[in-house]
Amino acid sequence: MSDSLAVVGFGSMGSALVAGALRSNLFSPTSILVLDPDPLARKRAGALGCMASDDPSIIADASMIAFAVKPQSFPELALKIGALQPNTLVVSVMAGVSIARLQEAFCDELSCVRCMPNVAAQIGLAVTTYACSPQCSDGDRDLVLRLLGSMGTTVEIQENLFDAATATSGSGPAYLFMLAESMIESAIRLGFDRPTADRLVRQALLGAATLLARGERTPSELRGMVTSQGGTTSAALAIFEAHGFHSMVHDALHAARDRGRDLSAAAAKQVAQTSGSIQSK
């Protein structure tokens, strides 16, 4: 088995994994293999010096395989790949595909790490939740943490909390983007032109997020710093509260978590059907 990283799927997450592996010097370009049916994706991977192909056999001898494809495409892909060697380390960023399902599809004793980065992995500022199978050695965990850490911060969680983590940090950036959209449109209605409104909102949110990331004060304390009684911020926050802002956020995260559970159940059913075909070969 070669000391190489195979990345299955070279979309936003797959390319972020490769960029992190190269940035952290975990793997050289020539030891990274990319499997993707899209010729343009393979061209991008090739431009980085990686070997790229649409033939699943390319990943057979890789020491680490990272799956970064849509969960609905995994069953058919698993069937094409076939059983993997027990000493292969598998990393999955597929929503809804459990460690147990990965092992059912490839090998019962496979070392697996399930993880969920968010979109900020593209700029090395992701928060990535992860869970390891009992088969993972200390060396496996160290290697995976170095890879995931190259994309940002890592947080280990219990696997049964993955749907909740997806709702909180995986989907989290979209909540901020929606807030930004609304603020920009409102600023335009207040009289600003779009470029000025866009600049004001982006910088306001960047500054606020940076203060929050420092961790020196709680979110409540930071809010209190800019909210004086009877002031402008107080007037704005009163509207949020009147419209049930906290309840709305609570309901939104619950809806995302529950949808994740539905997708997990569907993925489990698909993979279970596929695994029998693979293991009968």
> For 154-170, how does the pLDDT look when each residue is reduced to its tens digit (9 = 90+)?
999 999 999 999 999 99
Altogether, the residues listed in the chain come to a count of: 281
Range scoring the smallest mean pLDDT among 47-56, 131-140, 257-266: 257-266
Range scoring the smallest mean pLDDT among 58-67, 71-80, 134-143: 71-80
- Asked if 143 and 17 count as a contact pair (C-beta separation under 8 A), the reply is no
Give the separation between CA 82 and CA 65, rounded to whole angstroms: 13
Which residue, among 18, 29, 53, has the nearest Cα to 39 in the 3D structure?
53
- Asked if 31 and 3 count as a contact pair (C-beta separation under 8 A), the reply is yes
pLDDT of residue 3: 86
Q: In which element (H, E) is residue 2 found?
A: strand 2-8
Q: In which element (H, E) is residue 80 found?
A: helix 74-81
**Residue 48, both tokens:** 């980085």
**Residue 87, both tokens:** 């000493």
Give the separation between CA 130 and CA 165, rounded to whole angstroms: 10
Question: 113 forms bridges with which residues in the sheet?
Answer: 91, 132
- Asked if 127 and 153 count as a contact pair (C-beta separation under 8 A), the reply is yes
Q: In which element (H, E) is residue 132 found?
A: strand 126-132
Higher pLDDT, 220 or 272: 220
Give the separation between CA 122 and CA 151, rounded to whole angstroms: 7
Q: Going from the N-terminus, what domains does the chain have, and what CATH number goes with each?
A: 2-159 (3.40.50.720), 171-243 (1.10.3730.10)
Q: What is the average pLDDT across 199-222? A: 96
What is the four-CA torsion angle of 99, 105, 107, 111, rounded to 10 degrees?
-30
Q: What is the average pLDDT across 67-87? A: 89
Amino acid found at 31:
S
C-alpha radius of gyration, the chain, whole number: 22
Give the separation between CA 83 and CA 60, rounded to whole angstroms: 9
Per DSSP, the three-state class of 186 is helix
Which residue, among 120, 102, 119, 122, has the nearest Cα to 111 in the 3D structure?
102
What is the DSSP-derived secondary structure letter of residue 8? E
Q: Kindly list the distances between the CA atom of residue 19 and the CA atoms of 37, 75, 90, 120, 149, in Å, as whole numbers in the listed order.
A: 20, 27, 18, 13, 12
Higher pLDDT, 138 or 274: 138
**Residue 112, both tokens:** 């697996």
pLDDT of residue 278: 47
